[in-house]
Amino acid sequence: MNTQHCIEVCNKLLRGERSAVEAYTKAIMTFEKEYAVPNSLLAIRDDHKVAVSMLTENVRSMGGAPSTDTGAWGAFTSFVQGTADLLGGKSAVASLRAGETAGKMDYEAAMEDEEVMSSCKEMIRNELLPTTERHIGALETLTA
């Protein structure tokens, strides 16, 4: 297995999780202006914080330096905030759901990557991917 490649993949996932924390924080602030903040948004943000910790530790355990920025995912965070400001909470939730779906695809791609270490795939399969799938379901109920 190529440890450096696995570190790069996990750092990409880490940037996505950091961006998700930012996106949920901004969406929650938008909801606070107009509505009561759904508890599910707070819980999902907390789940993303846990994922950041897990991926950070995983990168360190492989001898890598964990990414500290959001990378390309930062643009998504800005999009969510802009959408929420213009169109309100329902649009923000729909944007968050789109972000979760993109995150799910990133996790699935990592699972299919033959150079990603089995220990990383186990964490994705057992922890990160199921949590992301729960988030998608929770967000779907908020937009229904």
DSSP letter string over 12-74?
HHHHHHHHHHHHHHHHHHHHHHHSPPPHHHHHHHHHHHHHHHHHHHHHHHTTPPPP-S-TTHH
How large is the greatest C-alpha to C-alpha distance in the chain, in angstroms?
50
pLDDT at 85 over 80: no
pLDDT for the residue 32? 73
Q: Does domain 3-62+71-143 have CATH number 1.20.1260?
A: yes
Q: Which amino acid is at 96?
A: L
HSE-up of residue 57 (Cα within 13 Å, Cβ side): 8
Q: What is each CA distance from 114 to 60, 93, 117, in whole angstroms?
A: 21, 34, 8
As a whole number, mean pLDDT of residues 50-74 equals: 90
pLDDT at 72 over 70: no
Which DSSP helix (H) or strand (E) runs through 4? Answer: helix 3-34
Distance of CA 28 to the CA centre of its chain: 15
Instruction: Give the angle 69-75-79 at the CA atoms, nearest 5°.
Output: 135
Tens-place pLDDT, residues 122-136: 999 999 999 999 999
As a whole number, mean pLDDT of residues 56-65 equals: 97
pLDDT for the residue 58? 97
Whether the CB-CB separation of 6 and 119 falls below 8 Å is answered with no
Whether the CB-CB separation of 58 and 17 falls below 8 Å is answered with no
- Residue spans of the domains in the chain: they are 3-62+71-143
pTM of the model: 0.89
